[in-house]
Amino acid sequence: MTRPVLSLAAVVVLLATGVAVDELVDPAVTPVQVSRTAAVVGSSAVCPDLRQDAGVLTRVSAGVSTGAGGAGRIVVTPLRGTTAPTALSLTRPGQVVVGLGGSVDGDAFVVRAEGALAAGLEVEQVTRGERGGERGLAGLRCQAPSTQAWFVGGATVVGDATLLVLANPDDTPALVDVTVWSADGPVDPRSGRGISVAPRSRVAVRMDELAPDESLLALHVVAQRGRVAAALRQARFDSRTPGGVDWVPQAQPPSTTVVVPGLPQGPGRRVVLVTNPGPDPTVVQLELTTADSQSVPAELAAIGVPAGTTVATDITQLTDRSPMTVTVRSDGGPVLAGSFVYDAQGSSPVKDFAYGGSATPLSGPALITDVVIDRPTESTLLLSAPGADAVIDVRPVQVLGEDGPLPPARKVVVRAGRVVAVRLSSFLPAGATGRLAVEVTPQPGSGPVYAARYLRERGDRGPLTTLLTLQSASGQVALPAVRRDEMVGVSR
């Protein structure tokens, strides 16, 4: 009789959530069980690369969404920290703390939550640079360590530098393989095999060493042993002209239907990226959801994507009048997808870019912990409902240390097949400045809702931009069907 075996990924999930399981269920001798879940009682997030230098500052913010309940404890420490972790003043759901990590330079930053607060943990990192290859806003959602990650974005052609950061916050070593695709097809898989990451350390892999002179990269990072928090960063610098910098968000795993929300309206280029990681070619169509329509333009109805390649489709002319969400549908095998926003400001040659990621619909509250409101900076919330009408609560959340009452919440109605843009500065009086955090929650009965935050600063020399795809925290984790091993404890 074949016994069911827990996968490494399942074991990691159980350990990460503090769940102990001592009974395996064998379908051959025990009735099949419905899926079981357990409450999340421990979680972590790793901000991969904090930089503090002249003209370069990184800020980290952390919070707990109202989807969590009860007490808990949240602590922070540098990845290579040798001192005791520092406890944060977050004591209940619906709170955010900002200004973390200011003393950390050239290291990752780890946030760990224990107890009921762990179910709602959200952490964000934003680096602001003023010159050279660091100029721009580079933001990302700090992710938990895992056994795999997907990315769509990056390049290693002249003028582009892309860095893969692998951070291991655990006490055991990790062994990682990286598979790379590009506009020209699969890259030799041998180049990314066997990358070792020691405990409580990180490794920065220059992508030009794995895939030299390639454009439109896509990556699959797999930890064959242990876990890592993977992050991908691209900087563009043309001679003396800064071309921007951003983190590439982690993508949803390959699927035949992929939703890419949050392409903002505005000047510059807007590009949809589709990667076919499979062995056979496929054809995809791009359905565009805008502020006033939803359609598949004729030129986007059948786009060929050869096996093992990434294809870029420019939709700039279609985003001149409206923000957009793109739904990618494959007629063949599953694909990856994302977006690239190249922002411009007047006639200045200085630009910045942002990568947008694929997403799943919000399943509960989603927290934006970093909302800076001042005259040259605007944060825009982009909400889309491709399938059915949706009603969303947008509620300001307490930022610890900020005085004054919170602005009232708003109810935003998004009609089926439409996108709505909400300027977050409108929550404060005209001309006011400050810090906000915002929680976005679909009301019960709403259709699928996708959300992104576009952060844009009008700089003296050109724009500074970054995108954040929102994700709901999960208070439950699925448990695999297991049974007791009768041989455990039996001497041999």
Domain span at residue 321 reads 41-474
Task: Answer yes or no: do 15 and 64 share one domain.
Answer: no
Q: Indicate whether 19 and 119 sit together in one domain.
A: no
Query: What pLDDT sits at residue 38?
Result: 67
How much is the pLDDT for 16? Answer: 41
Local structure of 467: helix, strand or coil: strand
pLDDT digits (tens, 9 = 90+) for 60-89: 999 999 988 778 999 999 999 878 899 999
Q: Please report the pLDDT score of residue 7 as a whole number.
A: 39
The pLDDT of 460-485, averaged and rounded, is: 75
330 and 254 in a common domain? yes
Angle at the Cα of 160 from the Cα atoms of 155 and 165, rounded to 5 degrees: 65
Give mean pLDDT, residues 46-69: 93
For 238-292, give the DSSP string. ETTEEEEEEEEPEEPPPBSEEEEEEEPPSSEEEEEEEEE-SSS-EEEEEEEE-SS
Pick the more confident residue, 330 or 239. 330
User: Which of 243-252, 366-375, 405-414 shows the lowest per-residue confidence on average (mean pLDDT)?
Assistant: 366-375
Residue 32: per-residue pLDDT: 46
Return the SS3 of 483.
Answer: strand
The count of domains in the chain is 2
> Quick one: pLDDT band at residue 480, thresholds 50, 70, 90?
low
What's the sign of the alpha-carbon dihedral 16, 17, 18, 23?
A: negative
- Rounded average pLDDT over 153-181: 97
Whether 212 has a pLDDT exceeding 80, the answer reads yes
Structure-model confidence comparison of residues 3 and 248, the more confident one: 248
26 and 89 housed in the same domain? no
Q: What is the pLDDT of residue 438?
A: 96
Written as six digits, the tokens of 330 are: 């494959």
* Residues 195 and 205 sit within 8 Å (Cβ to Cβ): yes
Comparing CA positions, the residue from 123, 98, 120 lying closest to residue 110 is 123
- Confidence at residue 490, expressed as pLDDT on a 0 to 100 scale: 57
If asked whether residues 31 and 129 sit together in one domain, one would say no
Statement to judge: residues 7 and 54 lie in one domain: no
Q: Looking at the structure, do residues 376 and 405 belong to the same domain, yes or no?
A: yes
- Which element (helix H / strand E) includes 90? none
- Which of 126, 150, 183, 355 has its CA nearest to residue 260? 355
Please give the residue that has the higher pLDDT: either 316 or 16: 316
How does residue 322 score in pLDDT terms, banded at 50, 70 and 90? very high
C-alpha–C-alpha distance, residues 119 and 68, integer Å? 5
Q: Per-residue pLDDT tens for 83-130?
A: 889 999 998 999 999 999 999 999 999 999 999 999 999 999 999 998
What count of residues does the chain have?
492
Q: How confident is the model at residue 282 (pLDDT cuts 50, 70, 90)?
A: very high
Predicted pLDDT of residue 156: 97
For residues 219-223, average pLDDT: 98
Q: What is the largest CA-CA distance in the chain?
A: 78
Q: Are both 285 and 181 inside the same structural domain?
A: yes
User: In this structure, are 104 and 33 located in the same domain?
Assistant: no
Confidence of residue 459 (pLDDT cuts 50, 70, 90): confident
Give residue-wise pLDDT tens across range 410-420: 999 999 999 99
Q: Return d(Cα 484, Cα 453) in angstroms, integer.
A: 47
pLDDT at 395 > cutoff 80: yes
Tell me the backbone φ, ψ of residue 94, rounded to 5 degrees: 85, 30
The pLDDT, as a whole number, for residue 318 is 85
pLDDT at 436: 87
Work out the average pLDDT over 268-274.
Answer: 95
pLDDT value for 296:
97
- Residue 175's φ and ψ, nearest 5 degrees, are -125, 125
Question: What confidence tens digit (pLDDT) does each residue in 287-313 have?
Answer: 999 999 999 999 999 999 999 999 999
Helix, strand or coil, per DSSP, at residue 405: coil
Share of the chain above pLDDT 70, in %: 88
Give me the percent of the chain exceeding a pLDDT of 90: 72
Q: Which comes out higher in pLDDT, residue 131 or 277?
A: 277
| Mean pLDDT lowest among 26-35, 113-122, 133-142, 351-360 | 26-35
Alpha-helical regions (H) of 322-369 = none
Residues 293 and 190 grouped into a single domain: yes
More confident residue, 348 or 30: 348
Mean pLDDT computed over every residue of the chain: 88
* More reliable by pLDDT, 99 or 14: 99
- Given a cut of 80, is residue 25 above it in pLDDT? no
pLDDT band at residue 10 using 50, 70 and 90 as cut-offs: very low
Same domain (yes/no): 22, 59: no
Could you tell me if 488 and 462 lie in one domain? no
**Sheet of strand 160-168, all strands in order from the earlier edge strand to the far edge:** 201-206, 160-168, 229-238, 241-248
